[in-house]
Every structure is written in C-alpha cells, then in structure tokens.
Amino acid sequence: MFKLYNTLTRAKDEFAPIAAPAVGLYTCGPTVYNFAHIGNLRTYVFEDVLRRALARFGFKVKHVMNITDVGHLTSDADTGEDKMELGARREGKTAWDIARFYTEAFTADCRRLNVLAPDVVCKATDHIPEMIALVRRLEEKGVTYRLADGIYFDTSKFPAYGAMARLDIDGLEAGARVEMVEGKRNPTDFALWKFSPKDKQRQMEWDAPWGRGFPGWHIECSAMSMKHLGEQIDIHCGAVDHIAVHHTNEIAQSEAATGKSPWVRWWVHGEFLVLDKGKMAKSGGGFITLDAVIKKGFDPLAYRYFLLQAHYRSQLMFSWEGLEAAANGYRNLRETVLGLKEQLPVASSQLPVGKPATDNCQLTTGNYGERFDDAVADDLNMPRALGTLWEALKDGGLSAAAKLALVAHAEPVLGLGLDRVEAEKPAEVPADVAELAERRAAARKSKDFAAADVLRKELAAKGYEVEDRPGGKWLVKRK
Ligand code: AMP
Ligand code: ZN
C-alpha cells in the first residue's frame, strides 16, 4: 500500500489513481530567467523520487513538466516586471536567448542529479493558443472581467476558491495579502491575460481576442496539463510556496472551466531548502547553484544523497558542513558497494541494473528489501529507506551477494548511481585533478618518487589526497 500525503486532505492517503496502473503526473517546472538554485533542485529531486517510487509500485507514469518562459511576473500580485524580460535586460540578450540558455542549464543540472527526464517537457510559449482557448472558455462561463491592464479571473464566482490552501478569504479581504491592481474586484483575483504596455515594446507578445499581450503565469499549467494529461489528473507537484497562490489559482481556473472537480486528486508539495541566513531566492542576490557545488569539489550525487537524508516534507537547512558530511556518507556507500563487488567473481559483480528485485529480493536479502519498500511506501520516507540499506550493508550475517542484490533493488528508487560504481576514481573529480593523479601514478611506476611527491603536494594544494590501491591504481579523495 503506497501512502502519499495529500495537501487536499492534509493526510497520508492510500494512493489510487483514476485509471490504474496509469498515473498522470504534472510538476511545475522552472522559470528560465536564471540558473536553478539548489533549493529549486531539491524540489525536482523530490519529484523524481516520487516518480521512481510510483514505478516501483507498478504504476505507469506519464510525467509532464512545463517550462515557464513567459509571463511570470516579479510579484504574485500581477504587478511588476516579467522575469524573462528582466533576465534579458540584465544580460543584454533577447528573452528567447535567455529562455534557451537557462532551459539547457536546467536540463544539465537535472541530468547531473540523476533526475529522470519527464515524458513531456512543454514550453509556455509553445502553448499560447491553448491558453487563449482556456481563457475564452472561462469568459463563456462568466467568471472573467476586463481591466485596463488585462483580463482577470473573478475569484468570488468560484465558491471553493482557496479550499486546498485553506485560505482565510475574509481575513484577506480585511487586511490585504497583496498590493492591489486598480479595479480588482477581490484581492485574490488574478490575471489570465495581460496587455502589452502601451509605452513599451515587449519582446514576447501575441495577438489575442482581448488585445495584444501575454498570458498570466498560472494559466499555462492548467492549459498544458489539460492538453497533455486530460481534464482530470492524478498528481500535481511543486514546493510549498505554490500552495497559497499559484496552485490555488490553477485549481480555480481549471475547475471553473471544465466544471469537473477535483481537477487534481493528489497535491503533493515539498518543503523548502533553507540557508542559515533564511530563504534561498532566485531573485535575491546570493543563491547557490549546482555548478558552485561541483566547483567546490563535490559530486552532484553527494548533493542528491544529502537531500535523501531528509524527508521531503521537512524543511532542510543547507550548510557546506552538512553537505561535506553527506559527501562522506555517499563516498562510504560507494566504497562499500565497490568492496562488495570486489568480493565477488567478475561475472556476478555486475549489478542487475533497474531490475525490479521485489520478487526474489526476499529470498536473498532477508526482509531488508521489503523494509526498504515499506519505507518508500510510507509517504516517501527516504531517510528510513537509506537507514535500512545501511543496516543491511553492516549486517555481518548477510552475504556480499545478498547485499548487492539489495543495492540493485534500492538503486532504481534512490537514483544514486550505485549501478555505476565501477572505477576506483570518483565520478566527479575535476579534470586537472585527475590529470595530476595520473601523472603521479606514472611517476611512481617509473620509480621517480621525488616527482610523485611534488605532484602529491600539488594535489594537496588543490584540496585532494591520493590513496594508492593495488595494481598501480589510485583513488583521489577530497581532504
Ligand atoms: P521557479 O523556477 O522560481 O518557478 O521555481 C521552481 C521550483 O522550485 C518551484 O516548484 C518552487 O516552488 C521551488 N522552490 C523555490 N525555492 C525553493 C527552495 N528554497 N527550496 C525548495 N524548492 C524551492
Ligand atoms: Zn504551475
């Protein structure tokens, strides 16, 4: 039984999709005006684990993710500048170039974190006709109105507005949650279509029945999810910051347009990664990218390991010390797997990659395989799942073959690259460090120990130490 916390019910409910085993999964994607920070990436890793868990429990997932390349304003209140145009101005490029560049950077980050590519990645700018059609549908239902700067959704016409977020609408009326756009009927009303400013040429704008302009941010997720997954879907994800506004507005416009409720059966939200100094925000100055993590010598999968050590619904505090500790844990895990493989004859040391070991796992791994799955099925309790894996790896009564069978069973859910633990060289050593280590090994081989020592010191100056292994092999480690 797979239990998954649902923000709609505020409970861990047994997961059951509309048409099992098919599962429609929609995850809100990045706004591509800057690099993703490691907080954003926490959300994509949690969604990846969810997708992998669904596959483990026999579901056939269709995963759709959008790319927000237009319309996300710098404020939630339908005021402020379009983030894409802001990025373009900052970098002296076109908004289209900015979108392309940061979409590629994001895709590369996901690849390095072993985040599986969605089945459909859809750009907002490729779905303008679908968004216009959806706004027209809302217009026909009489839930929209026109202001000087755009077409708005009248939230008072949708009685269930704010139910998922449990918003106190009356409280909002009294105090203002948001700065008001002039003429808005209710503080919670939001833009469906914004008109281009009269005094300025926008880079991204389209003709629409109401006037030239661009879509409001929320409408893209409703339009694209309906196009690619149908009018009702099983799971929709994002981080907790989306509950009160973005997802609340998505629900209102989707259910008002189709008359079908619930539009989404499971709302699954991940908690934030925070810094000791507070929130990590893309628009504020200092944020940490995955590149910065790699430049400090960390394997990106050590960051994934760091994330898996916390439950996705708990806030996680990032610190370099915490990451260092996780990197040590991850290195230990890889070395343990490698050590186990070295104990087995070559042919049997290959991990059966991706093989769902559920059936025969019990035979070879005691009840560890089952316990691992139970932890995953308990609302993705990955800290417990990792704990179970470690317990098994340290169990003196379990054979090397049984331990490796468990690793093979766990890897398709963990995505930690444990199926690729082959070389004695860690995967993400910078090229210059690897070269120094190669030269040192060559110097040792030709018995030029003085040169080898100089190279060892050069490695140390870069923060690495080198360990010799049998057969002239070596292992470089961060100090
Ligand atoms: P954005 O590209 O700004 O639209 O954000 C991409 C995703 O990252 C969204 O699902 C956000 O909710 C999520 N997000 C933003 N900040 C954080 C954070 N500090 N920790 C975890 N997720 C975040
Ligand atoms: Zn969205």
Is the domain of 353 the same as that of 450? no
Split into its structural domains, the chain has a count of 3
Whether 305 is covered by a domain: the verdict is: no
Q: Report residues whose beta carbon is within 6 angstroms of any ligand 1 atom.
A: 28, 30-31, 39-40, 42-43, 68, 238-239, 241-242, 272-273, 280, 282
Domain hosting 402: range is 320-420
For residue 349, the domain's CATH number is 1.20.120.1910
How many Å lie between the centroid of ligand 2 and the Cα of residue 251?
10
Per-residue model confidence (pLDDT) at position 221 = 97
Boundary residue ending a domain (420, 443, 462): 420
Residue 342 belongs to some domain of the structure: yes
What pLDDT score does 143 carry? Answer: 98
- Within-domain flag for 450: yes
Has residue 314 been placed in a domain?
Answer: no
Ligand 1: centre distance to CA 448 (Å): 53
Tell me: do 257 and 377 sit in the same domain: no
Decide if 425 is inside a domain: no
Q: Which ligand minimizes its atom distance to the CA of 240?
A: 1
404 and 446 part of one domain: no
Q: Looking at the structure, do residues 467 and 401 belong to the same domain, yes or no? A: no
Out of 270, 299, 334, a domain closes at: 270
Q: What is the pLDDT of residue 148?
A: 94
**220 CA from centroid of ligand 2 (Å):** 7
pLDDT at 284: 53
Contact 192, 152 (CB under 8 A): yes
The answer to whether residues 72 and 306 touch, using CB atoms and an 8 Å cutoff, is no
In a domain, 288, yes or no: no
| Residues 390 and 245 occupy one common structural domain | no
Indicate which residue's Cα is closest to atom 13 of ligand 1. Answer: 40
394 inside domain:
yes
Whichever domain contains 223, its CATH number is 3.40.50.620
Domain match, 79 and 215 both:
yes
Domain boundary (270, 300, 335) is at 270
Pairing type for strands 60-67 and 233-239 reads unpaired
The pLDDT tens digits along the chain (479 residues) read: 999 999 999 999 999 999 999 999 999 999 999 999 999 999 999 999 999 999 999 999 999 999 999 878 888 777 888 888 888 889 888 889 999 999 999 999 999 999 999 999 999 999 999 999 999 999 999 999 999 999 999 999 999 999 999 998 777 664 455 556 789 999 999 999 999 988 888 889 999 999 999 999 999 999 999 999 999 999 999 999 999 999 999 999 999 999 999 999 999 999 999 987 666 665 554 589 999 999 999 999 999 999 999 999 999 999 999 999 999 999 999 999 999 998 886 544 455 544 444 444 444 667 999 999 999 999 999 999 999 999 999 999 999 999 999 999 999 999 999 998 875 555 577 888 888 988 998 888 888 889 999 999 999 998 888 877 655 667 787 77
Tell whether 52 and 93 lie within a shared domain.
Answer: yes
Ligand nearest to the CA of 122: 2
User: Based on C-alpha coordinates, what's the Rg of the chain?
Assistant: 25
Q: What pLDDT is stored for residue 177 in this prediction?
A: 52
Task: Give the pLDDT score at 32.
Answer: 94
Q: Is the dihedral of CA 443, 444, 446, 449 positive or negative?
A: positive
Choose one of 220, 241, 250 to mutate for the ligand 1 pocket test, by most ligand atoms within 8 angstroms of C-beta. Answer: 241
Determine the distance separating the centroid of ligand 1 and the alpha carbon of 156, expressed in angstroms: 28
Quick one: 435 and 393 in the same domain? no
Q: How far is the CA of 29 from the centre of ligand 2 (A)?
A: 7
**Same domain assignment for residues 404 and 453:** no
Which atom number of ligand 1 is nearest to the Cα of residue 272? Answer: 20
Question: Is 172 a member of any domain?
Answer: yes
Same domain, 464 and 365: no
| Ligand number, closest to the Cα atom of 222 | 2
Annotate the chain with three-state secondary structure. CCEEEECCCCEEEECCCCECCEEEEEECCCECCCCCCHHHHHHHHHHHHHHHHHHHCCCEEEEEEEEECCCCECCCCCCCCEHHHHHHHHHCCCHHHHHHHHHHHHHHHHHHCCCCCCCEEEEHHHCHHHHHHHHHHHHHCCCEEEECCEEEECHHHCCCCCCCCCCCHHHHHHCCCCCCCCCCCCCCCEEEEEECCCCCCCCCCECCCCCCEEECCCHHHHHHHHHHHCCCEEEEEEEHHHHHHHHHHHHHHHHHHHCCCCCEEEEEEECCEEECCEECCCCCCCCCCHHHHHHCCCCHHHHHHHHHCCCCCCCEEECHHHHHHHHHHHHHHHHHHHHHHHHCCHHHHCCCCCCCCHHHHHHHHCCHHHHHHHHHHECCCHHHHHHHHHHHHCCCCCCHHHHHHHHHHHHHHHCCCHHHCCCCCCCCCCHHHHHHHHHHHHHHHCCCHHHHHHHHHHHHHCCEEEEEEHHHEEEEEEC
Distance from the alpha carbon of residue 118 to the mean position of ligand 1, in angstroms: 17
The pLDDT value given to residue 80: 83
Based on the domain organization, do 38 and 149 belong to the same domain? yes
Q: Indicate if 392 and 466 belong to the same structural domain.
A: no
